Each structure stands twice: as C-alpha cells, then as structure tokens.
C-alpha cells in the first residue's frame, strides 16, 4: 500500500511541474503581448489604476486577477488581451479581468 502511494506521488510530480511550466509559459507569452497592445492601441482612456493593476498581474507571475475594466477603452483592451491570450493557447479564464463590485 505504501509503495502504491509513493508511486502515485511520483507519477503526479511531472504533471505538477508541467502545469507550473505551462503557467509560466502562458504568463511569458501574455507579458510579451501587453506592450504590443499598448503600442498598437495606446493608453488613452486607460486609467492609472487599470494600468497599475495590470502591471501587478504580470509582476505576480500572472496569478493576481483583479483588474476591473471600466471605461470603454479599458473594456476594449480587456477584449483584445483576452483574444490574444486565447490565440496564444491560454484559456479566457487566464486573463486578470474581473469586476467584483
């Protein structure tokens, strides 16, 4: 029984490592797309809070998801980044955009 438990732990380890690597890969891809989107669409209409929270998302390794797009330009940028993330192989749930209030 103990051998079976050890075997299961050893078999699960590569999946965890692969999952962590994939998260880092997605974050790297996303991090590269952000400056490209800013260059293409500009910062007009993007609040300092939106930009700061988005930068915090990237700095966290794409783990903190609390960027709330409010203006039409922020909503458009969130849409652009969601589509770009999906095109890069990430699920739409990967992006940081959520409004809790």
Q: What is the pLDDT of residue 93?
A: 86
Q: What is the average per-residue pLDDT within 75-86? A: 96
Q: What is the pLDDT of residue 11?
A: 46
How many CB atoms lie under 10 A from the CB of residue 94?
19
Q: Take residue 47 and report the two structure tokens written for it.
A: 């609040």
- Does the global pTM surpass 0.95? no
Mean pLDDT of the region 57-80:
96
Phi, psi torsion values for 22, nearest 5 degrees: -70, -40
């Amino acid at each position: 029984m103990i051998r079976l438990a050890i075997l299961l732990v050893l078999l699960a380890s590569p999946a965890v490592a692969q999952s962590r690597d994939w998260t880092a890969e997605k974050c790297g891809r996303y991090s590269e797309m952000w400056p490209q989107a800013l260059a293409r669409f500009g910062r007009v209409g993007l609040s300092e809070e939106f930009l700061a929270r988005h930068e915090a998302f990237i700095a966290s390794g794409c783990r903190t998801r609390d960027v709330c797009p409010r203006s039409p330009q922020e909503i458009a940028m969130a849409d652009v980044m969601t589509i770009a993330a999906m095109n890069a192989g990430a699920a739409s749930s990967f992006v940081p955009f959520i409004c809790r209030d």
